[in-house]
């Protein structure tokens, strides 16, 4: 069910301000693509255009093509709500619904999609999703407790369980570990390696070691200066990017000479 995404000539705007210019890339199915770059370079903005979450900000829009499995997600007859049902997202800060129990959180997406689900199926799905997110053993005895009572790392894995419960084709992660301690980060990174077998994953990270550890391909975004749009400088196999990048800017960034 993992899908390939082709982005071509994508320009992203906030009102009249061009935030990200001219991005083209191909994201292969069942791979992890990491997006790295300095703050404000537009990598998160770009990520949010992949499930049309970008446009929930007033005035924000994108021009260009994002084709998933032959369908242009920005075609006029495409419903952004439907896009988001196929492209799941995990955010920077864990955001389980505070008014729902752990089990309800996992089922939130399924309930939204207006599917009637029997009690047994629901229990199976909760168990399967939580196991998929490596969280089952830690929470199986307290599925009816609020999700907000878990630790930050557990909450983030709960959010991943919630995202994969609807069986998306692509999973977007926006700095999923930036609010977590190293142990929880490790748990998430292990999880990403497992999820890769079933999903296409795009992850934005500030942490270059993390990009090197988890990803197959790495894209480097950069910005020429304040007020200028962010651009994709290069994207290549992770090993290439971290050993012999083609662009000088990439080399400077990953060797810590700036940013």
Partner 1 sequence: MSLTPTRRPEGAEPSLTPAESMTHGRASLANRAFARLSTASGVTILALLAAVTVFLVIEALPAVTTSPAELAERISWFPETGGILGYVGPLVFGTLLAALIALLIGTPLAIGIALFISHYAPRRLAQGLGYLVDLLAAIPSVVYGLWGSLVLAPRIVPVQDLLAQYLGWFPLFDGPAAQPARTVFTVGVVLAVMILPIITAVCREVFLQTPRLHEEAALALGATRLEVIRTAVLPFARSGIISAAMLGLGRALGETMAVLMILSPGFAYSFALLQAGQHQTIAANIANQFPEANTAGVSTLIATGLVLFVITLAVNMLARWVVSRRADFSGAN
Answer positive or negative: Cα dihedral of 115, 120, 126, 131: negative
d(CA 108, CA 99): 11
Q: How far is the CB of 194 from partner 1 (least distance, A)?
A: 21
> Which residue lies nearer to partner 1 by CB, 31 or 51?
51
> Which residue lies nearer to partner 1 by CB, 76 or 114?
114
> Which residue lies nearer to partner 1 by CB, 53 or 235?
53
> What residues line the site for partner 1 (CB under 8 A)?
51, 53, 56, 58, 81-85, 88-89, 91, 93, 95-101, 108-109, 112-113, 145-146, 148-149, 159, 162-163, 166
Q: How far is the CB of 169 from partner 1 (least distance, A)?
A: 12
Burial readout 46-81 (b: 16 or more C-beta within 10 A, e: otherwise): bbbbbbbbbeeeeebebebebbbeeeebbeeeeeee
The tokens for 81 are: 């709500």
Instruction: Characterize the bridge pairing of strands 32-36 and 200-204.
Output: parallel
> Which residues is 258 bridged to in the sheet?
none
Q: How far is the CB of 18 from partner 1 (least distance, A)?
A: 23
> Which residue lies nearer to partner 1 by CB, 42 or 109?
109
> Which residue lies nearer to partner 1 by CB, 168 or 230?
168
Instruction: Characterize the bridge pairing of strands 32-36 and 217-223.
Output: parallel
Q: How far is the CB of 168 from partner 1 (least distance, A)?
A: 9
Distances (CA, A) of 98 to 94, 150, 205: 11, 11, 26
Q: Determine contact, residues 24/46, Cβ cutoff 8 Å.
A: no
Q: How far is the CB of 93 from partner 1 (least distance, A)?
A: 6
């Amino acid at each position: 069910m993992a899908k390939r995404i082709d982005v071509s000539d994508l320009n992203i705007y906030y009102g009249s301000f061009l935030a990200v210019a001219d991005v083209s890339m191909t994201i292969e199915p069942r791979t992890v693509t990491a997006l790295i770059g300095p703050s404000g370079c537009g990598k998160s903005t770009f990520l949010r255009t992949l499930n049309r979450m970008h446009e929930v900000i007033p005035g924000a829009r994108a021009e260009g093509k994002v084709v998933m499995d032959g369908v242009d997600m920005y075609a006029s007859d495409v419903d952004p709500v439907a896009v988001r049902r196929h492209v799941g997202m995990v955010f920077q800060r864990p955001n389980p619904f505070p008014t729902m129990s752990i089990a309800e959180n996992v089922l939130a997406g399924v309930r939204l999609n207006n599917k009637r689900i029997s009690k047994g199926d629901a229990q199976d799905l909760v168990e399967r999703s939580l196991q998929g997110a490596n969280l089952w053993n830690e929470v199986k005895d307290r599925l009816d407790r609020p999700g907000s009572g878990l630790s930050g790392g557990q909450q983030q894995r709960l959010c991943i369980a919630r995202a994969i419960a609807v069986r998306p084709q692509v999973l977007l992660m926006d700095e999923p570990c930036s609010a977590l301690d190293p142990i929880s980060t490790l748990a998430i990174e292990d999880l990403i390696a497992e999820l890769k077998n079933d999903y296409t994953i795009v992850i934005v990270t500030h942490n270059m070691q993390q990009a090197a550890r988890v990803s197959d391909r790495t894209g480097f975004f950069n910005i020429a200066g304040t007020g200028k749009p962010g651009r994709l400088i290069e994207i290549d196999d992770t090993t290439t990017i971290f050993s012999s990048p083609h662009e000088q800017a990439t080399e400077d960034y990953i060797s810590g000479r700036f940013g």
